[in-house]
Amino acid sequence: MLTGGYVHDRLVYIDGALASSRDRAGIEVLNPATEGVVGIAAAGSAGDVDRAVRAASAAFPAWSALPVSERANYLRALGDGLEKRRADIAALITAEVGTPLAVSERIQAALPVADFHNAADVALEVEWETEVGNSLVLAEPLGVVGAITPWNYPLHQIAAKVSAALAAGCTVVVKPSELAPLNALHLAEIAEDIGLPPGVLNIVPGDMLTGESLVEHELVDAVSFTGSPATGRRISRLAARAPKRTLLELGGKSACILLTDSTVDTERKALTDTVQSCLRNSGQTCIALSRLVVPRERIDAVLETVTALMDEYPVGDPLDPGTKLGPVISQQQYASVLGHIESAVNDGARLVYGGAERFPHLTRGYYVYPTVLLAPDSSISIAREEVFGPVLTVLAHDGDDDAVRIANDSDYGLSGAVWGEDRDYAVAVARRIRSGQIDICGGRFNPRAPFGGMKRSGYGRELGRYGIDEYLQTKSLQR
Ligand code: NAD
């Protein structure tokens, strides 16, 4: 049904069946590179959400009672199904999000496969029962999970939540982002194909209203949310009325620190890595390294290198295999990113590269020029607020203690990086940064390591063993 990647039927997946939602007008999904329509998604109604949650609730007793090895087999089959469709999924996400196709293939379509396969493996490592004195402590699933996800890595964010929750024995209703909801229907089709029991996984695309109906539904036991801090606050307020458990993965303003002992060679590697991280998916990555904190005496050299790296970055049609930087997701996001750049300059930052320039060869699409700003200090908003665009803010430090101070001078604490000559010293510096993940001297993303934020970046962890734990609660039997 999704062959070619175009969907025009307002589909929802409820109780094991794909069907058209007819209660509300559909949502046009736009291609940010062409501004054309990719497909029409459902705007799930309160009625759709109610049917989905009831299906999940009805499926919960049998699913949670299945031996974990059987749940793991379903997860593996979901991962295998995604693997077979990788090319179609990459193409559809490129159309919905604007991610360059090569990056979609390597990240957008590949990570969801790894999420399901990893969850299948680590589910078998969970300690479902432990003895504590005269107590038998059982790990039990939370129940029905409402999963609300954003558009930037849309299928990975769904897969991270669904794989962990299903592994734990929960059943799930997913509400994908209205900006990139169509790729989730691949997962629905695969669930149908592999015979996942009806109701275990339900997908109701929609908007804020759909999301609120899900959070407030009395049969939803827990809400797992990834998105903006403002929405996270709203969701946790709504959930607190019940109250019900929430997991919040919010934004970031992650800093890369270049330590004072860095050689020119290390500096070059650090800057290359930071530019790639900052521009990946047009800067619409929650763990993007969007602050670069470097020794004051190296500022001029750093700005020269970073500018040269950005100048070489191939920008253009996401379908062109050479493209590394595509458009941002929407006209609204385009305006928001340019607004951040304008305020930065008004606040005293120096525009070193990019800004409101346009690419003469790109007449359609929401393309933002990669941008470098030098901030006088971390008090101005460009050094504090998440831009979610290809914008790097450079800050000078006066020694490694000062670098740590600057990195921590943020409401966020999602990710970060530390580069220097002595790895042990870099690790010691990383220990002082309040952030959920930190890469040392180019350490690579690990899809089994706990992922999540400190401070205003949220709470709870996803991926690997830690991800499954979030969907479990304990019960103790005294004997
Ligand atoms: P968003 O908060 O606008 O939307 C996220 C989801 O919440 C969407 O599905 C949306 O429909 C839904 N939603 C919106 N209002 C709602 C409400 N009142 N009740 C229930 N659901 C509601 O965020 P976005 O623009 O899609 O995503 C960008 C943000 O997500 C950025 O801030 C980014 O940093 C963050 N993000 C965080 C992580 C992470 O793991 N920490 C990962 C990716 C993105």
What is the Å distance from ligand 1's center to 235 Cα?
10
Pocket test for ligand 1, best of 210, 286, 412 (most atoms within 8 A of CB): 286
Cβ of 393 closer than 6 Å to ligand 1, yes or no, is no
Task: Please determine, for residue 8, whether its predicted confidence score (pLDDT) is greater than 80.
Answer: no
For domain 254-446, the CATH class is alpha beta
pTM above 0.85, yes or no: yes
Query: Average model confidence (pLDDT) for the chain?
Result: 96
Closest protein CA for atom 35 of ligand 1: 227
- Residue among 96, 178, 212, 249 flagged as catalytic: 249
For domain 3-250+457-478, the CATH class is alpha beta
What is the distance between the alpha carbons of residues 288 and 187, in angstroms, rounded to a whole number?
27
Identify the DSSP state of 297: G
pLDDT per residue as tens digits for the range 285-330: 999 999 999 999 999 999 999 999 999 999 999 999 999 999 999 9
Secondary structure of residue 248 in the 3-state scheme: strand
Q: Which residues pair with 462 in a beta bridge?
A: 451
Cβ of 208 closer than 6 Å to ligand 1, yes or no, is yes
pLDDT per residue as tens digits for the range 71-105: 999 999 999 999 999 999 999 999 999 999 999 99
Report the pLDDT averaged over residues 227-247.
97
Q: What sign does the CA torsion over 319, 324, 329, 334 have? A: negative
What is the Å distance from ligand 1's center to 127 Cα?
32
Q: What integer pLDDT is reported at residue 113 of this predicted model?
A: 98
Q: Which of 373, 374, 377, 376 is nearest to 390 (CA)?
A: 373
- H or E element at residue 20: strand 17-20
pLDDT per residue as tens digits for the range 94-152: 999 999 999 999 999 999 999 999 999 999 999 999 999 999 999 999 999 999 999 99
Cβ of 48 closer than 6 Å to ligand 1, yes or no, is no
Cβ of 388 closer than 6 Å to ligand 1, yes or no, is yes
What is the Å distance from ligand 1's center to 228 Cα?
4
Q: What sign does the CA torsion over 205, 252, 107, 354 have? A: positive
What is the Å distance from ligand 1's center to 420 Cα?
34
Pocket test for ligand 1, best of 29, 148, 284, 411 (most atoms within 8 A of CB): 148
Which positions ≥6 away from 87 have C-beta within 8 Å? 105, 109
Secondary structure of residue 278 in the 3-state scheme: helix
What is the Å distance from ligand 1's center to 130 Cα?
37
Task: Please determine, for residue 1, whether its predicted confidence score (pLDDT) is greater than 70.
Answer: no
Domain regions of the chain by residue span: 3-250+457-478, 254-446
Show the 3-state SS of 168-232: HCCEEEEECCCCCCCCHHHHHHHHHHHCCCCCCEEECCCCHHHHHHHHHCCCCCEEEEECCHHHH
The answer to whether 249 is a known catalytic residue is yes
The answer to whether 304 is a known catalytic residue is no
- Residue among 170, 256, 278, 286 flagged as catalytic: 286
Task: Please determine, for residue 4, whether its predicted confidence score (pLDDT) is greater than 70.
Answer: no
Give the confidence band of 358 by pLDDT, cuts at 50, 70, 90: confident
What is the Å distance from ligand 1's center to 229 Cα?
8
**Looking at ligand 1, which atom is closest to the CA of residue 329?**
25
Burial of 434 (0-12, 13-18, 19+ CB in 10 A): middle
Task: Please determine, for residue 3, whether its predicted confidence score (pLDDT) is greater than 50.
Answer: no
Cβ distance 139 to 471 under 8 Å? no
Q: Which of 58, 140, 19 is nearest to 472 (CA)?
A: 140
